[in-house]
Structure formats: C-alpha cells, structure tokens
C-alpha cells in the first residue's frame, strides 16, 4: 500500500498539525472578538449550488469541482468554497437569525487543480461572511479583520489590493466596452481567452498569463465607469480602511475568480510567494447572491483565507508559526512505586488544568526522558526513590536541563509560575 496521502492533499502531523490548530484557535478568537459566530455546512452540496453561483465559466466550475453522482443519481460536489453554502443555510433559517448575520468558518475546501506549493486539491480556509449589511463599514471591518489576523502573526510583507467591479447598473455598459476592446486586441490574448473572452470578459483581467496581463493593463478601467452609488460605496470602504489605519493600492484589474461578486473586490497578497499562489486571502461583496438562490435581497461581504498559504508566508518571512500549547509536564516514575506515584501525579495535574502525561509502562529513566522530549513537554517531573521518600519531585526543564526539587504538591504551581507551553501560553491554558 502506498502510504502517501492522495495527490494534492496534506497530512498534518506534529508539529504542522499543531501549527494549523493554532491558526484555527487564533482565527476563532479574532472572529469572536468581532461578534462573528461559528458555522458549519456539509462537506458536499448539490452541484447546482456552486455552478449557479460561482459562474458557469469560472475555473472552479469548469475545471476544479470534485463532482460525483450518488447512488440515486443526484449530482453532488465536494465544497470548493464556503460563501454559497453559508448563504444557502442562512436563507433556509433566516427568521431565527440576527441581522446582520456575522458568521465564520474554519473548514476544508476541495478543488481539482495541478498541485504545487500553495495550491492543493484539499485546502483549509478561515472564512468570514456578513449577511444583511449594505454599508461600506461592513466591507472595511471584514478587510481589517483579515489584515489584523495576518499582522497578529507577525507578517509584514503583505499588500492589500482593492477594487470595485460595479453592480448590475454600471457593469453591463463596462462589460460591452471591455468586449469591444478585447475584440480589437484578440490576437494578443492567451489561447485560453482568445475565443472565450465574450463569455466572461472580466475574467481576462484576472488572467495571470503575461500576454493577457499586458492587454489588461491597457484595458478600460471599471473604476472610471462606476455609477454614483458604487463610487460612493468604494469611497466609503476606503474611508473605513483609512480609519482602521490600513494602506492599500487600487487595482483596477482585480476582478476575482468567482461570479457572485459585486462592488468591492479585494485580495491580500504576499509578494514573496510566487504570483500564482501569492493571494493569502480574497473576498468581496456579493449583493446579488441570495437572489440567485431564490432568496430575498440580502447584501453580503466576506473573505476566504488559505491557511496553508499563511503558513508558507510565515516561513517565507522567517517567522516561527505559533503552535498550540504543548504538554507542560511529562511525569517520569522510576521503579514500581515511582510509576504508580507518577500516575497519581498526572491525575492531580490534569485535574487543575496542567497538561500532563506519563508512560503507560514502567520503563528505564533514560527511555522515559526521551519520551518526554519526543512528546514536546516543557518539563520532566521525576519521581524516583529519593523523591518518594522526601515527598518531592525533581522538576527538569527539558530545553536546558536546568532542574530543582519541589514539594510533590507544588508541581502545578511551580510549572504555572514559569509558564510552560511553547508559544508563551501559561501552563493551564491547554484547551
Ligand atoms: P477564493 O479566492 O477562491 O475565494 O479562495 C480564497 C482563498 O483560499 C485564496 O485566496 C487562497 O488563499 C485559498 N485557496 C484557494 N484555492 C486554493 C488551493 N487550491 N490551494 C490552497 N489555497 C487555496 C473564495 O473561496 C470565496 N468564497 C471567498 C469569499 C468569502 N468571498 C466572500 N466571502
């Protein structure tokens, strides 16, 4: 049996698992701080949910969906993105929900594409969505939260790109103008777009191909053709960002790869990563999405952040990724009596919230110290014959071997006083 995970998927064993978990914890804390509540939707949905909302010509729908028929012949698709599912769930139960509805999710997405660093067939997203808020302040809050998340990790080489792609009032005329321009420049486009630009001309602006980028740079700009309400909205978003102390560049070719966006579109890019995978998170406003699903008018805005890419960006900037708090104490019992005492001590420590562990079997001291090290413990608490007699424990800090003896009932406070967990969390915070 080939033990490697399926192509384009990752196993997250320690310490990577612990880093991903720490990102989840930070994301939850940040979301809660801003009044967002956790939601989950199914891992697969009726295919139409995505084809009708992401857009029939989007990469996600044309090339990347994991679609299969179930035993009754229904077409289902593994979730490639989170916005449409959360909106679907909300529309089915909106009477019981607050407005605005502020939700966050931490979940896996599935997209079939050529795997490479930063692009996987299964990836993890921290996503937030605000439903029922028209005001530009909602867009600014969403963007500022993503910024705060990344900066909170220590990332500094990140850039915010912002655009407005108009709405159903101003976009049609712009679209026609763009089609005419692209027709005149058809020969310069990449093969992919030469014959298909009429289906979705805005997508050419988003194309990463050098030839298309050169054409896009000369194309008419949507930001010069916005209707008054869209222009006012964009100005409102920018003033909110300014108040939040953010800087950004207006990027008129930024259009995003999914069709449901209206007005605000944004991406945070890490210039250190290769352009295809540089977007750490992207999002925008989708005021027409609820209606596509047969619901009432529910304006909305949100982002999706690729968490594997966040870890890559940290590595690229030479920043240690946070890790979830590890084991505070590994209790080492020497001899039969020591082993029994070790297990009592583990129980006592856990009861007061100190993460503790011990070997299941009585093993030699050296072997247990090695186990303590492998387990990532901050301290080894050694209970040998001498300690048993004196009702003490030898507390050894594994990072440097520094050790001292403490009273057997004082281990929890001795460990808590120092703060034991990697990442600086106090010993008690092991949740
Ligand atoms: P998206 O731009 O398709 O937007 O994906 C969001 C983020 O997920 C990307 O910026 C990237 O960091 C990450 N990502 C996407 N595909 C992959 C992949 N194959 N491998 C690794 N990471 C990936 C959405 O999904 C929208 N639902 C975001 C949103 C929420 N807009 C409004 N609300």
Task: Let me know if residue 182 belongs to a domain.
Answer: no
Task: Let me know if residue 288 belongs to a domain.
Answer: yes
Task: Let me know if residue 76 belongs to a domain.
Answer: yes
Domain boundary among 316, 343, 364: 316
Given a cut of 80, is residue 422 above it in pLDDT?
A: no
| 40 and 131, same domain (yes or no) | yes
pLDDT 10s digits, 185-240: 999 999 888 888 998 899 899 888 889 989 999 999 999 999 999 999 999 999 99
| 287 and 414, same domain (yes or no) | no
How many Å apart are CA 188 and CA 346, to the nearest integer?
70
Domain count, the chain: 2
- Per-residue exposure over 4-33, b if at least 16 CB sit within 10 Å of its own CB, e if not: eeeebeeeeeeeeebbbbbbbbbbeebbee
CA of 223 relative to ligand 1 center, distance in Å: 24
How many Å apart are CA 10 and CA 380, to the nearest integer?
32
| 269 and 381, same domain (yes or no) | no
| 246 and 334, same domain (yes or no) | no
CA of 304 relative to ligand 1 center, distance in Å: 5
Residue nearest to atom 15 of ligand 1 (CA): 306
Average pLDDT, the chain: 94
How many Å apart are CA 380 and CA 399, to the nearest integer?
10
| 263 and 410, same domain (yes or no) | no
How sure is the predictor about 322, in pLDDT bands with cuts at 50, 70 and 90?
A: very high
| 87 and 150, same domain (yes or no) | yes
**Residue 281: which of 262, 257, 304 has the closest Cα?**
304
How far is residue 165 from each of residues 103, 269, 309, measured CA to CA in Å? 24, 19, 26
**Residue 371: which of 431, 430, 323, 331 has the closest Cα?**
331
Ligand 1 pocket, CB under 6 A: 81-83, 111, 113, 118-120, 123, 125, 127, 129, 257-258, 279-284, 302-306, 308-309
| 352 and 397, same domain (yes or no) | yes
Task: Let me know if residue 212 belongs to a domain.
Answer: no
Task: Let me know if residue 85 belongs to a domain.
Answer: yes
Dihedrals phi, psi of 265, to nearest 5 degrees? -135, 140
Q: What is the mean pLDDT of residues 10-31?
A: 97
Q: What does DSSP assign to residue 320?
A: P
pLDDT 10s digits, 37-46: 999 999 999 9
pTM as predicted: 0.93
| 266 and 371, same domain (yes or no) | no
How sure is the predictor about 430, in pLDDT bands with cuts at 50, 70 and 90?
A: very low
Domain boundary among 316, 344, 372: 316
Residue 111, token pair as written in the block? 């997209």
For residue 364, the enclosing domain spans 329-418
| 342 and 310, same domain (yes or no) | no
Domain CATH number, residue 348: 3.40.50.800
| 297 and 394, same domain (yes or no) | no
Task: Let me know if residue 62 belongs to a domain.
Answer: yes
Domain CATH number, residue 291: 3.30.930.10
CA of 14 relative to ligand 1 center, distance in Å: 25
How many C-beta neighbours within 10 Å does residue 189 have? 21
Residue nearest to atom 30 of ligand 1 (CA): 303
């Amino acid at each position: 049996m080939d033990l490697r995970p399926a192509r384009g998927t990752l196993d997250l064993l320690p310490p990577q698992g612990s880093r991903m978990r720490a990102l989840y914890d930070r994301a939850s804390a940040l979301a809660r701080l801003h009044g967002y509540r956790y939601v989950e939707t199914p891992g697969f949905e009726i295919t139409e949910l995505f084809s009708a909302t992401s857009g029939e010509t989007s990469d996600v729908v044309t090339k990347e969906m994991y679609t299969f028929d179930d035993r009754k012949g229904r077409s289902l698709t593994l979730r490639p993105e989170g916005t449409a599912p959360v909106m679907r769930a909300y529309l089915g139960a909106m009477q019981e929900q607050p407005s605005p509805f502020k939700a966050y999710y931490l979940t896996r997405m599935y997209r079939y594409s050529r795997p490479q660093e930063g692009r996987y067939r299964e990836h993890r997203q921290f996503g937030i969505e605000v439903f029922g808020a028209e005001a530009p302040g909602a867009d600014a809050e969403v963007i500022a939260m993503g910024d705060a998340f990344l900066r909170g990790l220590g990332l500094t080489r990140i850039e915010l790109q912002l655009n407005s792609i108009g709405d159903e009032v101003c976009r049609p005329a712009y679209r026609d103008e763009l089609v005419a321009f692209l027709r005149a420049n058809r020969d310069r486009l990449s093969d992919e777009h030469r014959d298909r630009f009429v289906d979705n001309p805005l997508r050419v602006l988003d194309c990463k191909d050098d030839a298309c980028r050169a054409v896009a740079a000369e194309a008419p700009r949507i930001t010069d053709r916005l209707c008054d309400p869209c222009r006012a909205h964009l100005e409102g978003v920018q003033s909110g960002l300014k108040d939040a102390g953010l800087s950004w560049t207006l990027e008129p070719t930024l259009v995003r790869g999914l069709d449901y966006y209206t007005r605000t579109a944004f991406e945070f890019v890490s210039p250190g990563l290769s352009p295809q995978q540089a977007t750490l998170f992207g999002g925008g406003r989708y005021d027409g999405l609820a209606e596509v699903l047969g619901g009432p008018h529910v304006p909305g805005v949100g982002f999706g952040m690729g968490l594997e890419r966040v870890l890559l960006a940290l590595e690229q900037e030479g920043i240690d990724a946070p890790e979830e708090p590890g084991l505070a104490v590994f209790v080492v019992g020497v001899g039969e009596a020591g082993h029994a005492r070790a297990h009592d001590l583990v129980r006592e420590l856990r009861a007061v919230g100190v993460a503790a562990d011990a070997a299941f079997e009585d093993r030699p001291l050296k072997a247990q110290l090695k186990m303590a090290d492998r387990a990532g413990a901050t301290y080894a608490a050694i209970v040998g014959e001498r300690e048993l007699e004196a009702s003490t424990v030898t507390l050894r800090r594994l990072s440097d071997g520094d050790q001292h003896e403490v009273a057997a009932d004082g281990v929890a406070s001795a460990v808590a006083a120092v703060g034991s967990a990697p990442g600086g969390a106090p010993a008690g915070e092991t949740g």
